[in-house]
Amino acid sequence: MTSSPTAYLKRSCPHCLKLRIFLTEAEIADRIEYKVFDDGDETHTALRARMEQDGQQPAFPAVEFETDGKLATGTDDLIARFASEAEIDPATLPLYNYYLGGVFPRYGEMFRELKELKK
C-alpha cells in the first residue's frame, strides 16, 4: 500500500489556494493529506528550516511525495504533475480558471504595490 502525498498549505497563501482549488475541482483532493498552517507558526518555522537545510528556497505550497521524501514546490509544477497523473486538463475546470483570471492576478498586483509602499 502506498501512502498519500502530504500537501503543506499556508492559510493566507494565494498559491496554496490555487493548488487546493485545482485539486478539489479536479476531484482528486481526497488523494492528498493536508497540513494547513499559519504564517510564522511552529509548522511554518519547521518547514522553512527543513527546506533551507535541504538547500531549497522556502516556498509554499509544498508537497511531500513518498518517492523521495523531499518537499516539491512550484504551484504550476505541482498542478501539472497532479493533472498529468490524473489525466485532467486544468483548462476544463471553470472555478480554477475563474480564480486564475480574476482574484489571483489581482492579489499579485496588491502584493507588489504593498511591497513598494513599504520601501
| Residue 89 domain-assigned (yes or no) | yes
Residue 1: predicted pLDDT? 39
Class of residue 21 by CB neighbours under 10 A (exposed 0-12, middle 13-18, buried 19+): buried
pLDDT in tens, the chain (119 residues): 357 899 999 998 999 999 999 999 999 999 999 999 999 999 999 999 999 999 999 999 999 997 777 899 999 999 999 999 999 999 999 999 999 999 999 998 998 898 889 88
**For residues 79 and 86, is the Cβ–Cβ distance under 8 A?**
no
**For residues 61 and 78, is the Cβ–Cβ distance under 8 A?**
yes
CA distances from 77 to 62, 102, 109 (A): 11, 21, 22
**For residues 42 and 8, is the Cβ–Cβ distance under 8 A?**
no
Domain CATH for 72: 3.40.30.10
Residue 69: predicted pLDDT? 73
Residue 118: predicted pLDDT? 85
Q: What letter would DSSP give residue 68?
A: T
Give me 63's grid cell: 508537497
Domain with 13, as residue range(s), is 6-117
Residue 2: predicted pLDDT? 55
| Residue 1 domain-assigned (yes or no) | no
Which residues lie below 8 Å from residue 3, measured CB to CB, with a gap of 6+? 66
CA distances from 67 to 4, 16, 60, 99, 105 (A): 11, 22, 19, 31, 33
Domain count, the chain: 1
